[in-house]
Amino acid sequence: MDNNNHRESREDYRKRMEERIRQQVNENRQREQAEQASEMPNDCQESSNNFKPPVKHHYHMPNWMRTLIWFLIILVALGGFYEYHKIHSAATGMFANGNGKISKKLQRGDPVSVLTMGTDVGALNRGNKGGNTDSMELFTINPKSKTITMTSIPRDILVRASTKDGPDYVKLNAVYAIGGAKQSERQVEELLGVPIDYYAVINMGVLEKVVNSVGGVDVDNPFAFDYEGHHFKKGKQHLNGTNALKYSRMRYDDPNNDYGRQKRQQQILRNVIQKFKTSGSIGAANKILDAVGDGVKTNIPIDNIAALYGNYHGAMDNVKTYHFQGQNATIDGVSFQIASPKEINRISKLVRKQLGLKSKTIVNHETRMYKSQPNFDGYNNTDFILPGGASYNDPGSGNDSDEVTSSHYRSSKTTSYEESSASQRQRLSYHSYRTPSYSATNQYGY
């Protein structure tokens, strides 16, 4: 009896979601029709008012399922999650805040931003801390311009982060291990001077399953290379999930290093989106949903899905990509990426414009630190001097930043840039920050 009641409540919820989607779609159609009519000459408006958009009676899948798959494939960069009958029972695992009220911002169809983070942590149902974020993409969705932007953010960007022991200078990918998804979200907000509405954390291991679920992807490789026992020829080729994961991970043989890897990751993601759109069916949807499992965690409230579909799905056909370009620098022999004020403001301006916000000059810890350098010119891989004093910690097994959970430099005192002259600054020494219960080397070896 209890099981029957539970099934009935799920069915009621599904019907409510479908009805909300229909209402949103109808409102959008009416608004677009009114806008088109207002732009026509008067003698054409009468016939336009009698126009009725065609009604589709057959769908490959219900709108509520298409909503979940289409929107989250883009937002979380790997797409989808459980079928409806699994969603409600697993909501606390997939949705960081469970069910929530409908956002007025989403109801109005305002531009929104979502930070997606690919992490090396296995399953995400153990909480949202631990491990590094090996990739970061800042998505913006503007329903008025019908545009989605994907901005890749280098994982090795040097930032000043807050920890329980005080401010630390860390690589951006270490912030997730220190404070979880919310702190990573706040860190990127502070770095770029843009508001971030939501986040989504993705276990990078699900990419292989997702690619297989759509039958593989076609890529156009700009140059030949070998990686993990597979030869990737130059030119067009079809990749299964295993090789797509390898293709998206290689960076050391790429002349553009991490930026080249980011471009290949975006190429895979765009092709996954296209494959699902062209062959989107309930069967394909279920394969993607099952493939992802607990590999995605987001704070997008489940009750906002209808508003997302109704107001934002029109932007899916126009996806623009941007790349945040850092500059190489070395701190005690460890390579970092330094964000210049010019690049921070360039990306900030692009993102703020997409969100309908006025541009502003960004002044933060990172811009002030860059300007404080006595010798760094942004072109040579020279030593970069950090502000404040420091205590040396023995790195132990080595200081290869790719072999530790996070590499950071702790200031022994808080010193403002105005108070700290070049003569007072000392080079801070490398040491490793390890997160309990997680291996220091990630599962993919990078």
Helix or strand (DSSP H, E) at 409: strand 406-410
pLDDT in tens, 123-158: 444 444 557 787 888 989 899 998 888 898 998 999
Distance between start and end Cα atoms, the chain: 52
Q: Which two tokens stand for residue 64?
A: 């509520």
**What one-character DSSP code corresponds to residue 383?**
B
User: What does the alpha-carbon distance between residue 46 and residue 32 come to, in Å, rounded to a whole number?
Assistant: 16
Residue that terminates a domain, selected from 36, 58, 80: 58
395 with 431, same domain?
Answer: yes
Least confident range from 70-79, 245-254, 416-425: namely: 416-425
Enter the pTM of the model.
0.63
- Rg (alpha carbons) of the chain, rounded to whole number: 24
pLDDT 10s digits, 182-231: 999 999 999 999 999 988 887 767 778 788 888 899 999 999 999 989 99
Cα distances from 377 to residues 172, 383, 427, in angstroms, run 22, 10, 17
Q: Can you list the positions of beta strands (E) in 233-344?
A: 235-239, 296-298, 319-323, 327-331, 334-338
pLDDT at 98 over 60: no
Q: Are residues 205 and 301 in the same domain?
A: yes
Do residues 193 and 284 both lie within one domain?
A: yes
Give 223-228 contacts, CB < 8 A, sequence gap 24+. 225/250, 225/253, 225/254, 226/253, 227/253
Q: Are residues 77 and 198 located together in one domain of the fold? A: yes
Total count of domains within the chain: 2
Q: Residue 202 has what pLDDT?
A: 77
Contact 414, 376 (CB under 8 A): no
pLDDT tens figures, 101-121: 567 888 888 999 999 888 755
Boundary (domain end) residue, out of 14, 34, 58: 58
Mean pLDDT of all residues in the chain? 68
pLDDT of residue 421: 32
Residues 268 and 329 grouped into a single domain? yes
Among 58, 77, 93, give the residue marking a domain's end: 58
Task: Clarify whether residues 327 and 265 are in a common domain.
Answer: yes
d(C-alpha 60, C-alpha 52), whole Å? 23
Tell me the CATH number at 172: 3.40.630.190
Same-domain status, 281 and 308 = yes
Contacts of 200 (CB under 8 A, 6+ apart): 72, 75, 76, 77, 114, 115, 116, 117, 296, 297, 298, 300
For residue 30, pLDDT over 70 is answered with: no
Token pair for residue 145?
């311009």
Shared domain for 27 and 105, answered yes or no, is no
How far is it, in rounded angstroms, from Cα 258 to Cα 251? 6
Show the domain range for 249.
Answer: 64-446
Among candidate residues 164, 158, 118, the one with its CA nearest the CA of residue 138:
118
Distances (CA, A) of 240 to 208, 213, 223, 272: 8, 10, 19, 11
**pLDDT, tens digit (0-9, with 9 covering 90-100), for 385-402:** 776 643 223 222 233 333
Is residue 37 domain-shared with residue 128, that is, in the same domain?
no
Nearest residue to 121 (alpha-carbon basis) of 246, 282, 254, 295 = 295
Q: Taking a C-beta distance cutoff of 8 angstroms, is the pair 371, 387 a contact?
A: no
Which ranges constitute the DSSP H helices of 76-224? 84-87, 91-94, 104-108, 175-192, 206-213
pLDDT mean over 168-188? 92
- Same domain? For 155 and 29 the reply is no
Please tell me whether residues 269 and 131 are part of one structural domain.
Answer: yes
Same domain, 236 and 281: yes
Distance CA 234, CA 265 (A): 17
pLDDT at position 267 is: 83
The token duo for 236 is 């067009």
